[in-house]
Amino acid sequence: MDAVLLSRLQFAVATFFHFLFVPLTLGLSILTAIYETIYVRTGDEEYKRMAKFWGRLFLINFALGIVTGITLEFQFGTNWSRYSEYVGDIFGSLLATEATVAFFLESTFIAVWHFGWRRLSPRAHCVTIWLVAIASNVSALWILLANGWMQHPVGYVIKNGRAELASFAAVVTNPFGWLEFLHTVSGAYILSGFFVMGVSAYHLLRRRNISFFTRSFRVALAFALVFSLLEVVEGHIHGAEVARTQPAKLAAMESLWDTQARAPMALFLIPSPGRERNLVEVGRIPGLLSLLAYSDSGAVVKGLKDFPRDERPPVTITFLAFRLMVGLGILFVLLLVAGWFLRNRLVESSRYLRIMLWAIPLPYLALELGWTVAEVGRQPWIVYGLMKTSDAVSPISPGQVGVSLVAFILLYGFLGLVDFYLLAKYARKGPEPAPVETN
Amino acid sequence: MLETIWFILWGVLWAGYFMLDGFDLGVGTLMPFLARSDLERRLMYNATGPFWDGNEVWLITAGGATFAAFPRTYAVMFSGLYTALLLILFALIVRGVAFEFRGKEESPTWRRVWDTCFFVGSFLPALLLGVAFANIFKGLPLDAKGIYRGTVFTLLNPYGILGGLLFVLLFLVHGALWLAVKTGGELQERAGSLAGGLWYLLLVVAVAFLVASRFATGLYSNYYETPLFFVIPLLAVVGLVLTKLFVVQKSWWRAWFASSLTIVSCTFFGVVGLYPNMIPSSIDPGYSLTIFNSSSSPLTLKIMLAVALVFVPIVVVYQVWTYRLFRDRVTEKDLGYEEAY
């Protein structure tokens, strides 16, 4: 194996692992902030206990999210130094802005929130968790603007043998980046909602802390429902933007081989990249792909055969990841709408609660699949249309990368297990008992 | 001009990181030698508890600023020092999770595992950052294309090891003083007297480093050219002397600030000496990475300067506020609260 493939594997390991923790940080910070705000406004102590209980799970998750994020920043330099040199003028400045504007704020105030319960007034303490929530989401925005630029580079000129910034405004208003941001944070909010609902369901099924977990569940349900519906709308706009900016990725997502007007979408198909066609296609709906991609059922959609072979992304992975992600997204909407009707009799709805408990991993899967579509679907480019992944790797030996890849897998595997164990332990333990009233 | 301003800012970010995370790393390295009970270990964790995470971001920002302002230096430094940097990374990862994970189980074995992680995760970055920067001062074997022509063992030359030793000792003293500031009773006394004892070692190593830099590096040429700059190493010496003075007076906050002055001046001693190089090449001075041949475009430098000039002062203000909010000593009573590590 060469340094390119090993570095790609290492980056995949680092990113997938990092992204097991990021979405819960993005969403659970907001949910915790909502619980604490209700406490401050109503004085209802139960919401304070909610903020503490969900906040503790947030912190266990946060620890790994933070430390694995450093890996990603380091990796651009260690493994992708030619890329860093070529695009640092633009990409580097987005990362540096993220650290200065958002990451400092998040990391400083999470400690203030964690240790500040007795040192700050309830109102001031509540402000700190909102600062954490806002900072982590602003952080996501800058990172996704950086990724959005890799997906659809704008605002640059090629000068001095590299991409140089021509318009900062164009880079920070890149529609692709903003759509990725909306898509990712909505997904993160859905995931966080499912996490809270799943853990609540566990306790409600055992009839423990019924009031506590019913209230937690309902806030999370409303939160996730709103964003799951938004995600459907955004997903459609997002797909159309991919069609406009990354036609090869779109063709791979749909496994469309021949350029055609009234391009169909099949309900079920199996791609066969070797033969440049699909083995099976069931339930073809003519014109649907054209309609979804270009809002016109007669529009021409470019097929994979019209891209040079060395500019096509891996079709099977991109196609499957996309299909599964969309399927899961629809399932989430159905589960959440069902929850909305059951919201006033949750405790009696034990079948629904059991489903929601076992549904916790599904949004995790959906988000990782989404990143698979975004990143694998962008191949062979590291910056779409501008630089190939194979030209981006550092001048390092495969041996070095091989060793570090194994080290990453071992360390991350171990830490992932520990974190999962602790999350499960503290989730099952439930909240601290309410202080006994002394009259 | 823009390049020079960014080079100074680059130095400020690194100095900020060494000064702030330096005491966290020092506390972690001291733990196996200083703490005599689980209670004392917990006091040590909680003495840095509310600060370490915000401190670590100075490193992320220093890395990010290198990427944004000097992408070529970032590329060469991170890929050339591949193994060393990944070791620092792994160390910082296990150090960070040790804080959060350690107290979540009662079992002594569990706690020993995370205490070991905490120690290794603190000691290794202190050592390797010193080794890496000493080698940067000395120059790396970079060829005409900026490709690193050495191995990880190239870094382990006497001057590099001396640099590593210097960083470890600086951070040990800094960390011991932080414990003297933040704890009380017997632990405070032991930490204070350890700082006083380690100070002699630090003095020897620091003087050796200043002298060795004369022979192993080209750092002094800027100083001979503009003797006014000798103020900087002088400040390092002043900081070092004041540290000892305040330790003797048991004036711990002052001693910690004096130690901070030493760390910041040591960083700038190197930074000023490097100028205008960022990474000198030991193969041919012509291959060196300078602030001019490795910087970003003027537009990026200007925009990033605006971002830095607005936000870094804001960061400093709220971080100072945090240090004031949690300025009290950590006592046994604090460990009784559920949020304590």
Query: How confident is the model over B39-58, as pLDDT tens digits?
Result: 999 999 999 989 999 999 99
- The mean per-residue pLDDT over the stretch A343-370 comes to 94
Task: Answer yes or no: do B74 and A77 touch at CB < 8 A.
Answer: yes
Q: Across the interface, which of B67, B83, B96 has its CB nearest the CB of A67?
A: B96
Could you give the 3-state DSSP secondary structure of residue B252? helix
Asked if the model's pLDDT at residue A437 lies above 60, the reply is no
| Buried residues in B37-52 as b, exposed as e (16+ CB within 10 A) | eeebbbbbbbbbbbbb
Chain A residues with CB-CB distance to B64 below 8 A: 73, 92, 95-96, 98-100
Place A282 in a pLDDT band, splitting at 50, 70 and 90: confident
For residue A291, the distance in angstroms to the closest alpha carbon of chain B comes to: 41
Q: Across the interface, which of B97, B304, B325 has its CB nearest the CB of A67?
A: B97
- The mean per-residue pLDDT over the stretch B148-157 comes to 89
A279 burial level (CB within 10 Å; 0-12, 13-18, 19+): exposed
Residue labelled with tokens 């819960």: A24
Residue labelled with tokens 């070791």: B87
Q: Where are the beta strands (DSSP E) in chain B?
A: 277-279, 289-290
Chain B residues with CB-CB distance to A121 below 8 A: none
Residue length, chain A? 439
A439 located within any domain? no
For residue A365, the distance in angstroms to the closest alpha carbon of chain B comes to: 24
pLDDT tens sequence across B187-203: 999 999 999 999 999 99
- For residue B146, what pLDDT is reported? 86
| Buried residues in A321-339 as b, exposed as e (16+ CB within 10 A) | bbbbbbebbeebbebbeeb
Any CB–CB contact under 8 A between B68 and chain A? Answer: yes
Rounded percentage of chain B residues whose pLDDT exceeds 70: 100
Task: Answer yes or no: do A112 and B325 touch at CB < 8 A.
Answer: yes
- The mean per-residue pLDDT over the stretch B62-89 comes to 93
Q: Across the interface, which of A91, A119, A394 has its CB nearest the CB of B325?
A: A119
Q: Give the residues across from A260 on adjacent strands.
A: A301
Any CB–CB contact under 8 A between B76 and chain A? Answer: yes
- For residue A436, what pLDDT is reported? 66
A415 located within any domain? yes
Task: Answer yes or no: do B85 and A77 touch at CB < 8 A.
Answer: yes
Any CB–CB contact under 8 A between B317 and chain A? Answer: no
For residue A369, the distance in angstroms to the closest alpha carbon of chain B comes to: 26
Question: What is the rounded distance in angstroms from the CA atom of residue B296 to the CA atom of residue B3?
Answer: 9
Question: What is the rounded distance in angstroms from the CA atom of residue B107 to the CA atom of residue A96?
Answer: 41
Chain A residues with CB-CB distance to B48 below 8 A: none
Chain A residues with CB-CB distance to B96 below 8 A: 63, 66-67
Q: What is the CA radius of gyration of chain B?
A: 20
Question: Of all helices (H) and strands (E), which one includes residue B190?
Answer: helix B185-216
Residue A203: domain span: 3-259+302-429
- The mean per-residue pLDDT over the stretch B226-254 comes to 94
The number of beta carbons lying within 10 Å of the beta carbon of residue A295 is: 10
Could you give the 3-state DSSP secondary structure of residue B325? helix
- For residue A438, what pLDDT is reported? 53
Number of compact structural domains in chain A: 1
pLDDT tens sequence across A50-85: 999 999 999 999 999 989 988 988 999 999 999 999
Q: Across the interface, which of A59, A74, A162 has its CB nearest the CB of B85?
A: A74
**Mutation for testing the A interface, residue in B24, B42, B79, B279 having most A CBs under 10 Å:** B79
- The mean per-residue pLDDT over the stretch A237-266 comes to 91
What angle, rounded to 10 degrees, do the helices at B38-48 and B108-138 form? Answer: 50
A289 located within any domain? no
Q: Residue B4 to residues A29, A280, B324: CA-CA distances in angstroms?
A: 40, 63, 33
Place B334 in a pLDDT band, splitting at 50, 70 and 90: confident
Asked if the model's pLDDT at residue A434 lies above 90, the reply is no
Task: Answer yes or no: do B79 and A79 touch at CB < 8 A.
Answer: yes
Any CB–CB contact under 8 A between B1 and chain A? Answer: no
Place B145 in a pLDDT band, splitting at 50, 70 and 90: confident
A435 located within any domain? no
For residue A7, the distance in angstroms to the closest alpha carbon of chain B comes to: 12
Q: Across the interface, which of B49, B89, B307 has its CB nearest the CB of A97?
A: B307
Residue labelled with tokens 């995600």: A231
Note if the bond before A313 is cis, omega within 30 degrees. Answer: no
Task: Answer yes or no: do B50 and A165 touch at CB < 8 A.
Answer: no
A291 located within any domain? no
For residue A121, the distance in angstroms to the closest alpha carbon of chain B comes to: 12
- For residue B210, what pLDDT is reported? 92
Place A346 in a pLDDT band, splitting at 50, 70 and 90: confident
Question: What is the rounded distance in angstroms from the CA atom of residue A239 to the CA atom of residue B16?
Answer: 44
CA atoms within 13 A on the CB side of A331: 16
